[in-house]
Amino acid sequence: MSRFLTAALFAATALMAQPALAATLPTPRLELAPMMGRWYEIARIPNKLQKGCQAGASDWTRSAEGFSVVQSCHKGAPDGPLAQWRAKARVADASNARFRMSFFGGVVSQEYAVLEHRQEQGWLLLATLDGKYLWLMAQRPVLSPAVRALVVSRIRQLGFDPTRLEWPTPAHS
């Protein structure tokens, strides 16, 4: 029950009035097929639900209602106890780049936007529409130093402060 209350508090905090940075940024037209599969969490703006998370990942699969998403991480270390939470996601606009995700049987719901997707480099930036949270996700557990520098520059261009990012220990490849 404690995990549920933490998630509900996280969602309520995320829904409070914040600068709508991500909502005002252009979203690219997104092809959905490349979104399927495993995405590794490379960096994030800290949030309560993922405190202590290392080696995070999200697994996206098609479902009758849109998509099923299983998010996971290991608490404290890449080989620490596994934490998982499941979500249902559906496309929220014609660009295919905005998703409404619901957690815990629909009790918690949040909209996210893919702000940048570089399919050829295997990474994307995902943010809450209020601009409070941002995730750098990749199709491999580690980005090259050159790609990482490019992404940090892009994060800054989008109006986020890259010094706020935390870089969890990656999953073993």
Q: 25 is written with which tokens?
A: 């940024």
- Residue 87 backbone phi and psi in degrees, to 5: -140, 155
Residue 128, pLDDT score: 92
- Residue 40 backbone phi and psi in degrees, to 5: -90, 140
Kindly tell me if the per-residue pLDDT of 155 is higher than 60.
yes
DSSP string for 102-118: EEGGGTEEEEEEEEEEE
Model pTM?
Answer: 0.84
Region 43-59 average pLDDT: 94
3 vs 49: which has the higher pLDDT: 49
- Say which CATH class 2-164 falls into: mainly beta
Residue 65, pLDDT score: 85
Query: Could you tell me if 99 and 60 are in contact, meaning their C-beta atoms sit under 8 angstroms apart?
Result: no
Q: Domain ranges in the chain? A: 2-164
Q: How confident is residue 20, by pLDDT bands cut at 50, 70 and 90?
A: low
Kindly tell me if the per-residue pLDDT of 13 is higher than 50.
no
HSE-CB at 106 with a 13 A cutoff on CA atoms is 2
pLDDT in tens, 79-116: 999 999 999 999 998 888 899 999 888 788 999 999 99
- Cα–Cα–Cα angle for 120, 124, 130, nearest 5°? 155
